Amino acid sequence: MFLQYLLPAQSGLHSFLMHNATPILLPVALVLCLALQAAAQGFVPNYDESKVPPYTLPDPLITRAGEPVRSVAAWKNKRVPEIAALFSEHVYGSFPAGPRSTRFEVLRESNQLLGGKALARQVRVYFGTTAGYMDVLLFLPAKAKKPVPVFVGLNFMGNHTVLNDPWIPLTTRWVSNNTTYHITDNRTNEGTRGVQADRWCVEMILDAGYGVATAYYGDLEPDHAEGWKTGIRTTMQPYTALKPEQWGALGAWGWGLSRMMDYLETDKNVDARKVMVMGHSRLGKAALWAAANDARFAMVISNNSGEGGAALTHRNFGETVGFITSTFPHWFVKKFSTYADDLSALPVDQHMLMALMAPRPLYVASAQEDQWADPHGEFLSAYHAGPVYALFGKTGLGTDKMPATEQPVGDFVRYHIRQGEHDVKPYDWQQYISFANKHFR
Ligand code: GCU
């Protein structure tokens, strides 16, 4: 399923695999594909913990000028802006503060979905005063008597893929070609309804008393090297005052999450003080960057976000800066690629991004078979955010020992590694729901 995201659509290998892999063979094909592509680039990923070279992480609690940060005030006033500026300059690019969205149009509403369990709304969220928009699909528990906390996240294939119901309109945007789903002209089709429903567990979330809001990431920027030309980095240029190269696709997707938040703040059925941003994989990277820039997200969940997400960049394990910036050049600012051969020069690492979430509850999740995303590196970056949570009097992970599979650890920062592959599974959602119960109920 991810093949289409991994290789440029023009590549012969991409096309061969897309036309020959059945759904059952896709995980095998994915591994093969990564290995072949890596080999083609002369890149051999390291999967041996004993071969991770030594590295030094910047201390989140020491400023660039070498001053220790000893108070919450110093953290917030000095170090947070400094770290955010470092990530902007070296990794993700600038994150435009606005324009905030203020124009929303409820396109359709129904209380018939999931046998009447769900109150569903599809809302068009316009960007500032422009004609540009994203379509947000919101599910709320029909039984709720008061505003509910909501999970919010972008989806990979269109809103109609998160639940199989003909009420949900098919996206009309550019989508990746995908032979499994017979997408050959970058337009989706009826056959893709609900194909990512397993990843969203809408019914489970509603049964637990939460809402869920999602939007298609292609509403913001099509995910390919030229996507910026038709995405918001170009169309919103006069409003963001940024040139397309001053931010990357991850920033554009993250910015969209903030626009979803603009809407959720106005929805009377939503408890806007309890909006939890969640993202998987590249959209987990985008969710983390959005939450770092937008304090309105009260809880943050990274699902298998890997390199450029939760995983420590300085560790040479699985995906690397060189690989990610050459395969997905549009995700980051160009400067990030310059660290490919000299990581020691990179003045930030992802534990500092995790630290920007403090004191908000943060969940980092890995999967055993997703070594590409470096589960141990994801754990370590959550761990190294601990001193910043401690500054707020909160316990982070509380242990430096990587837990066994499906044994979540941690308090305000929580971590688990589940069995299985790179994906979002019901097990993951069960943990996110219980984390939300713990902090919000
Ligand atoms: C690729 C990429 C990862 C990314 C993943 C995804 O595997 O190398 O960095 O997280 O795609 O988004 O599924």
Give CA separation, 234 vs 218, 228, 430, in Å: 14, 6, 39
Range of the structural domain that residue 146 is part of:
50-440
Query: What is the distance between the alpha carbons of residues 161 and 252, in angstroms, rounded to a whole number?
Result: 21
Query: What is the distance between the alpha carbons of residues 419 and 367, in angstroms, rounded to a whole number?
Result: 6
HSE on the CB side for 440, CA within 13 Å?
27
- Model pLDDT, residue 40: 55
- SS3 of 1-67: the string is CCHHHHCCCCCHHHHHHHHHCCHHHHHHHHHHHHHHHHHHCCCCCCCCHHHCCCCCCCCCCECCCCC
> Which residue has tokens 């637990």?
208
Angle at 80 between CA 389 and CA 68, to 5 degrees: 70
Measured in Å, residue 302 CA sits from the centre of ligand 1 at: 13
CA of 283, closest atom in ligand 1: 12
In the set 176, 281, 302, 366, the catalytic residue is 281
Q: Are residues 368 and 413 in the same domain?
A: yes
Q: Are residues 39 and 130 in the same domain?
A: no
Q: Catalogue the E-assigned strands of 161-250.
A: 211-216
Is residue 422 annotated as a catalytic residue, yes or no? yes
Q: Are residues 35 and 171 in the same domain?
A: no
**Pocket perturbation via mutation, ligand 1, pick of 366, 372, 424 by most ligand atoms within 8 A of CB:** 372
Q: Are residues 25 and 95 in the same domain?
A: no
Measured in Å, residue 404 CA sits from the centre of ligand 1 at: 24
Kindly state the tokens that stand for 322: 């060189």
Q: Are residues 40 and 172 in the same domain?
A: no
**What is the residue with the minimal CA distance to atom 12 of ligand 1?**
282
Tens place of pLDDT for every residue, the chain, 441 residues? 343 334 433 333 333 333 333 344 444 445 455 555 555 567 899 999 999 999 999 999 999 999 999 999 999 999 999 999 999 999 999 999 889 999 999 999 999 999 999 999 999 999 999 999 999 999 999 999 999 999 999 999 999 999 999 999 999 999 999 999 999 999 999 999 999 999 999 999 999 999 999 999 999 999 999 999 999 999 999 999 999 999 999 999 999 999 999 999 999 999 999 999 999 999 999 999 999 999 999 999 999 999 999 999 999 999 999 999 999 999 999 999 999 999 999 999 999 999 999 999 999 999 999 999 999 999 999 999 999 999 999 999 999 999 999 999 999 999 999 999 999 999 999 999 999 999 998
CA of 422, closest atom in ligand 1: 13
Q: Are residues 229 and 301 in the same domain?
A: yes
Which residues approach ligand 1 with their CB closer than 6 A? 2, 5-6, 281-282, 306-307, 319, 324, 372
Measured in Å, residue 61 CA sits from the centre of ligand 1 at: 30
Q: Are residues 31 and 80 in the same domain?
A: no
**Pocket perturbation via mutation, ligand 1, pick of 26, 223, 281, 289 by most ligand atoms within 8 A of CB:** 281
Query: What is the distance between the alpha carbons of residues 78 and 89, in angstroms, rounded to a whole number?
Result: 17
397 Cβ contact partners less than 8 Å away, ≥ 6 residues apart: 379, 382, 383, 386, 409, 410, 411, 413, 414, 415
Q: Are residues 27 and 115 in the same domain?
A: no
**What is the residue with the minimal CA distance to atom 1 of ligand 1?**
6
Q: Is the peptide bond before 359 cis (omega within 30 degrees of 0)?
A: yes
Give the helix ranges, DSSP H, for 201-357. Answer: 202-207, 232-235, 237-240, 249-264, 282-293, 321-327, 334-337, 350-355
Provide the domain count of the chain: 2
Which tens digit of pLDDT belongs to each residue from 302-345? 999 999 999 999 999 999 999 999 999 999 999 999 999 999 99
* DSSP string for residues in 323-368: HHHHHSTTSS-HHHHTTTT-GGG----HHHHHHTTTTS-EEEEEET
Measured in Å, residue 81 CA sits from the centre of ligand 1 at: 28
**Pocket perturbation via mutation, ligand 1, pick of 5, 283, 307, 326 by most ligand atoms within 8 A of CB:** 5
Phi, then psi, of 222 in degrees rounded to 5? -60, 140
The crossing angle, in degrees rounded to 10, of helices 249-264 and 282-293 is: 60
Give CA separation, 408 vs 74, 348, 417, in Å: 32, 27, 7
Q: Are residues 311 and 180 in the same domain?
A: yes
Q: Are residues 323 and 390 in the same domain?
A: yes
Measured in Å, residue 80 CA sits from the centre of ligand 1 at: 27
- Model pLDDT, residue 118: 98
Is residue 344 annotated as a catalytic residue, yes or no? no
Q: Are residues 156 and 37 in the same domain?
A: no
* Single-letter residue type at 179: T
Measured in Å, residue 5 CA sits from the centre of ligand 1 at: 8
Query: What is the distance between the alpha carbons of residues 168 and 163, in angstroms, rounded to a whole number?
Result: 8
Q: Are residues 19 and 36 in the same domain?
A: yes
